[in-house]
Amino acid sequence: MTGGPKDGETEEEFLHSPFIRKQGNIYKPNNKDMDNESLNEKTMEDVHTKEIDLVNRDPKHINDDVVKVDFEDVIAEPAGTYSFDGVWKASFTTFTVTKYWCYRLLTALVGIPLALIWGIFFAILSFLHIWAVVPCVKSYLIEIHCVSRVYSICVHTFCDPLFEAMGKCLSSIRIRTSKEV
């Protein structure tokens, strides 16, 4: 691999082509005259260092069904039974700030360990799906193919003639319905 930009190369060229060297691609070292335009391989993206959106933290809307609770959804005073305006404002501020900081405190204390647990869980789930479930399903489909051929032969050999004969025997039966008034 390249150890850094060579003489005549800029830092930007080096950053955008880490797997290209003067002799060619490191995965195809016999290609001597390979450059960026003739490279037909996908550029590698590191999904672990991608930018995250700090404004829209639910871009796929996976938490739309979660209850979004505001002060007005929980506490409401009907007409004629109002508290003091100062109490109402203080209640609103207390509710909103408490909900905000409790959530932040819980995410700070429990969020990172839960992220670790969920990361391990989904890594195990992915591993099992890739290395156990898909191969088992493919194996099953290959094995069931033989069974389906035998079953198909049996149906065509025994059932098709039987049902065809029954159809021919019963094809002359006519049913007539009449409605009496």
The per-residue pLDDT string of the chain (181 residues; one tens digit each, 9 = 90 and over) reads 445 555 555 544 445 544 444 554 555 555 544 444 444 444 555 566 678 888 888 888 888 777 788 888 888 888 888 899 999 999 999 999 999 999 999 999 999 999 999 999 999 999 999 999 999 999 999 999 989 999 999 999 999 999 999 999 999 888 888 888 8
How high is the pLDDT of residue 45?
A: 57
DSSP state of 48: G
User: Rounded distance, CA 74 to CA 96, Å?
Assistant: 11
How high is the pLDDT of residue 52?
A: 80
User: Rounded distance, CA 84 to CA 114, Å?
Assistant: 42
User: Rounded distance, CA 53 to CA 35, Å?
Assistant: 34
| CA-to-CA dists, residue 12 to 18, 19, 43, 64, angstroms | 11, 14, 15, 42
How high is the pLDDT of residue 49?
A: 64
Evaluate whether 120 touches 126 at the Cβ level (below 8 Å).
no
DSSP state of 66: S
Q: Residue 20's beta-bridge partner residues?
A: 25
User: Rounded distance, CA 155 to CA 50, Å?
Assistant: 56
pTM tops 0.85, yes or no = no
